[in-house]
Structure 1
Amino acid sequence: MRRGRALRLIHGSAALLALVCLGTTLRTGVEQRGTALAFGALVALGELSRWTGPRGGQAAPLGAAGALAYALLGEDAGRATTHGAAQVVSVVLAASLAGCVPHVARGRGPAVDHLARRVLTVGFAAVCFQPLFNRGTFADWSGPAYALLLVALLALTALCDAVLAAALAHSRTGWPFGPLLRDALRCVIGIGSAVCATGAVIALAVAVVGLWALPVFCLPLLLAQVSLRRYAAVRRTYRQTIASLARATEVAGYTPAGHARRVAELSRAVGRDLGLSEPELTVLEYAALMHDIGQLSLVDPVPAGATAGLPGAEQRRIALLGGAVVRQTGVDAEVAVVVERQADPYPEQPPAARIVRAVNAYEEKVRDAGPGGPLRALEELRLGTAGDYAPEVVEALARVLSREGLTLPSAG
């Protein structure tokens, strides 16, 4: 309920700000229409090139840089600008909606959270800068001092955007806010710093040479976006390769079909609930996909691939064999460590290994167990928290399973 209120608050605030700014702009008219049109076209182009990043994150760095640059624009080729904060929000909103049209036509739908963040962050930057600039507060600021002012405002805006992104993700998923904020701040350090730097450079360059600076200084960020998309494509291919390796046990008949995928999906959800960061979740997912690969070294397959019921020494032997196989594939050494240590006593295990062990045991116990299987499996895991399974992992698993939309997928 509280999460739903936060989501409505953010969306409602963005809608209210947009309506007020649009009404003000319609009443007073658009100032310096050529400048507004140029920046609006840049924002629209950025939205057209928007793409869905890893884990569904929307990425439109070119549009964000153009919007922030317009919010912090004080001069155009040496002439003071006269547009205010309301016009900034109106132009950015109209351009963002125009850039969303092709995405809607392709059936992707409008990114409401993305638009809400854009309106609120640009509004924040514009309100911090435009009224003070128009009153002459920054008239005596020049050179490095003025540039530092813009960078400071952009950094503060980026922090606000990170908080909004984490709050929206927390409201929609229920994942812990702290790790989500940490991941959002990590993005600020990455592509976010490039967006802020480009926004500041565009605002400073347009103030000196005019609108000709727009295509010149946007090109590096556009190339960075292309590189980011290629990197994401490489990561997707890498994950698909790991998933294909994990299916080797299924193809060979050692484990049931879909077992590795189900364990990986549920392990990632449990890791999210426990507050693991995005890099830690990636290692966890890869280890969960490959947790049974050691069974390929067995002469006699374990019945149904169920290793949770084997003696501890046999479980550790299979885990060590799996770690050796993972190391031979060239996958990250951290993944191999998690696979090797999934059968160790839980006080000695890293967090990812604790999660993989508990989730794998749950999936094996609940398989073909009927309607009451999940409850019985959880009860057995709780009884095993004295030495086999970490209590915090079992409780996180219970929370995840009770959360709507995160129940264990069916086999297949």
Structure 2
Amino acid sequence: MITEEFYTMRAPRRAGAWRMLDEPVRVLVVAIAAAFAAGSLLWTLITGFVEGQTALAFGVLIALGELARITLPGNREVAPVASAGAIGYTFLLTLGGDTVHHSAWQVLAVVTVGFALGELPHIAAGRSPEWSDVARRMLVIVAITLAFRPFVDALSPGSTHWQWWPALLLMAALVLVGWLTDAVTAAAVRAERLRTRITVAFRDELRAHAGLGMAIGASGILIALASTITGLSGLLVFTAPLLVTQVAFRRFAEVRLTYLQTVRALSRVTEVGGYVAPGHSRRVSRLAKSVGCELGMRESDLLELEYAALMHDIGQLSLRDPVAGGATVFALPREQRRIAELGSAVIRETGVLDSVAELVRRQCEPSMGDGDDGPPPLGSRVIKVANAVDDLAGESADPERVQAVLERLRMDGFGEYDPDVVEAAARAIERAAARW
């Protein structure tokens, strides 16, 4: 059966080796991070901890930061305070004027324990983390630590001819390298999960992490430099600004989530009123997003596409007589345009979704356009194909019917459907069927 889960952007959770085959990049990232974590713990247990009070203070900060992790748009889990604390411990040269001597492996061991303790309450409450995101946070610290700690003796204020600026430049450079490494890793995992182009995923990750990533890196450097004079009290002083930033990002994520929930609720009005088949809007939205990923659309464009696909039939609420079965693909072109125009007008009333309203308004136009405005936006062409597939196939359990629908769209001789979008839809459906 072609249910709404059939078109989900993520494969159904599989156990064991099947999931490893589905997401090898994700498994590799988690495995590498786990290897460094286990190795650092074993090495530190054998050689022993040094300066236990400092390690404990930073470990507690990291654990609390991991406990307060947040989920940003795009299902990205971040722990700004934990990451800043880990970077601060990595860059720590002196504490209150006294030179510190912890090794790179002790840093990784403290970070591992802090991450684990911070995640335990979440796991106990049934909120298991996205392990690839935890692994990425760990790998960033691995890269920075292994590149910085070997040079601590030369950078320490107690060394001969010491100057502060080489240490600061190295810290800033490593933060930038760590941020870029994280973006590349996140892009690889995201491209694998969404089946989109890695270049598109990389640009999305750079935009998503730019502001917060720089704030985390700067806070980590400030914690390390401030602790040189203030001691452990610097942890509290320079963590506070990051907490304010985290609260702002959390509110932003909540607003985005509320927006999406509101749009989803609004899209169900047509189903409750009997204007369209149950689940139609959600199935069209899921297929449209999958097709958008196949075509390499940016994350921001995918979000607008999701909104537009959810509300593409909302104009039917203004009809006196509902379209038979809610399938607008069978309606006359004039009626289709009227539904699109009415839906667009409703969406424009929000005052903040004008681009979404434009996608809805032009969803029924031929692929090459029919006026002076030129071809409709890619999102409109995607919605047109996704809507036609669901109108014609519905929840059919017969794969041959789905293929027949796709073949019908391919054979369209009037230029109604974009051939590239139709082929992308075929690939998305085939991939979803293979995962299912």
What TM-score do you get using the length of structure 1 for normalisation? 0.92
Q: Please state whether the residue corresponding to 1:58 is helix, strand or coil.
A: strand
Compare 372-381 and 11-20 and name the one that shifted more.
Answer: 11-20
The answer to whether the 8 Å contact 1:401/1:407 transfers is no
Q: Superposition pairs for residues 12-411 of structure 1, below 5 Å?
A: 12-136=31-155, 139=159, 140=161, 142-347=163-368, 348-367=375-394, 369-371=396-398, 372-384=400-412, 387-404=415-432
Residue type at the aligned position of 1:199: G
Give the aligned length: 408
Determine the C-alpha separation between the residues in 2 that align with 1:126 and 1:276.
35
Contact 2:58–2:86 (8 Å) recurs in 1: yes
Contact conserved, 2:93 with 2:156, CA < 8 A, in 1? no
In the alignment, the residues of structure 2 paired with residue 124 and residue 7 of structure 1 have an alpha-carbon distance, to the nearest angstrom, of: 18
C-alpha distance after superposition, 1:376-406 (max 9, x if no partner): 1111122227611112211221122122479
Cα drift, residue 33 of structure 1: 1.0
Return the TM-score normalized by structure 2. 0.87
* CA displacement 1:46-86 (0-9 Å, x = unmatched): 11112333343212111111111111212212222211111
Alpha-carbon spacing, 1:129–1:289, altered in 2? closer, same or farther (3 Å): same
- Tell me whether 132-141 or 347-356 shows the greater mean CA deviation: 132-141
CA apart distance, 1:353: 0.6
Q: Which moved more, 1:59-68 or 1:270-279?
A: 270-279
Can you give the 5+ residue segments of structure 2 that lack an aligned partner in the other structure? 1-19, 369-374
Measured against aligned partners, the alpha-carbon deviations of 1:274-318 in whole angstroms (never above 9, x if no partner) come to 221221111101111111122222232211121112333332232
Contact 2:99–2:156 (8 Å) recurs in 1: no
The CA deviation at 1:194 is 1.3
Report how far residue 213 of structure 1 moved: 0.5
1:10 aligns with 2:18: no
Matched-pair contact (CA < 8 Å) for 1:267–1:359: yes
Distance, in Å, in 1 between the alignment partners of 2:30 and 2:396 is: 43
- Per-residue Cα deviation, 1:350-394 (whole angstroms, up to 9, x for no partner): 111111110001000002555132121111122227611112211
RMSD of the alignment, in Å? Answer: 2.3
Task: State the Cα deviation string for residues 89-114 of structure 1 (Å, max 9, x = none).
Answer: 11100111111110111122354213
> Conserved in 1, the CA contact under 8 Å of 2:266 and 2:311?
yes
Q: Is the deviation greater in 282-291 or in 135-144?
A: 135-144
* Pair 356,240 (structure 1): closer, same or farther in 2 beyond 3 Å: same
> Would you say the 8 A contact 1:3–1:174 is kept in 2?
no
Local SS of the residue matching 1:300: coil
**After alignment, is 312-321 or 151-160 more displaced?**
312-321
- Alpha-carbon spacing, 1:252–1:212, altered in 2? closer, same or farther (3 Å): same
Contact residue 202 and residue 217 of structure 1 kept, 8 A: yes
> How much identity, in percent, do the aligned residues show?
43
CA distance in 1, matches of 2:320, 2:61: 63
Distance of 1:90 and 1:119 partners within structure 2: 11
2:311 and 2:24 mapped to 1: Cα distance?
A: 40
Q: 1:385 to 1:407 in 2, by over 3 A?
A: farther
Is contact 1:31-1:83 (8 Å) kept? yes
In 1, the alpha carbon distance for the partners of 2:361 and 2:31 equals 49
Aligned mates of 2:349, 2:434 — CA distance in 1: 33
Cα–Cα, structure 1 residues 48 and 175, in superposed 2: closer, same or farther, change >3 Å?
A: same
CA distance in 1, matches of 2:311, 2:243: 37
Provide the rounded CA distance (Å) in 1 between the counterparts of 2:397 and 2:54: 66
Q: 1:247, CA displacement in angstroms?
A: 2.4
Contact 2:155 2:166 in 1 (8 A): no
Describe the shift of the 1:368–1:203 C-alpha distance in structure 2 as closer, same or farther (beyond 3 A): closer
Tell me, yes or no, if the aligned pair for 2:76 and 2:133 is still in contact at 8 Å: no
**Higher mean displacement: 26-35 or 323-332:** 323-332
Q: CA deviation at 1:234?
A: 1.8
Give the Cα–Cα distance (whole angstroms) in 1 for the partners of residues 122 and 395 of structure 2. Answer: 42
2:12 is matched with which residue?
Answer: none
Distance in 2, Cα, partners of 1:43 & 1:136: 25
